[in-house]
Amino acid sequence: MRSSISAEIDGELSEFESILLRGHLDRCEDCRMFKLDAKRFATALRGAQLERLSRPVAVPSRRRSVVSLRLPAAAAVAVVMIVFGGVFASLHSGAVIHASPPPEAAFNSLDLRAMQLQKAQRTNNQLRLRRAQTQASQIPRHPGPQN
């Protein structure tokens, strides 16, 4: 609540937060006293004359150090993602590399040709089935953009 009181004094509290704060202040004597003290202190500070410093104050910028750490961190994350992505892809690709294929797995060119022909026939059958379903649905098909 004390941070809300400070935000209200600075005019940074939303209407909803202000209503919540007022409800709390109605019940809490300590927070009401804190608000009065904080308001008096803020008024005194705002009304006081500015003092000249005897020497300039240099505050180091934290932003530079944060930005300088962001680039190496992002590069490290990218490297880790690439490494794990490669490992994941190689583990789940389904491809297994053998030094020499087992003799029962060897196909001659005729078997390979027959398998390719069967796959082409299955694909053609699927396309014919889709064409028949589209024509049977009686939905007009208009290729290209309509003006």
| pLDDT tens, position by position, 66-120 | 556 677 788 888 888 888 888 777 776 665 555 555 555 555 667 778 888 899 9
**Does residue 16 sit within a domain?**
yes
**Does residue 10 sit within a domain?**
yes
Token pair in block for residue 29? 């004597």
Tally the domains of the chain: 1
**Does residue 105 sit within a domain?**
no
pLDDT of residue 36: 94
Range of the domain at 17: 2-47
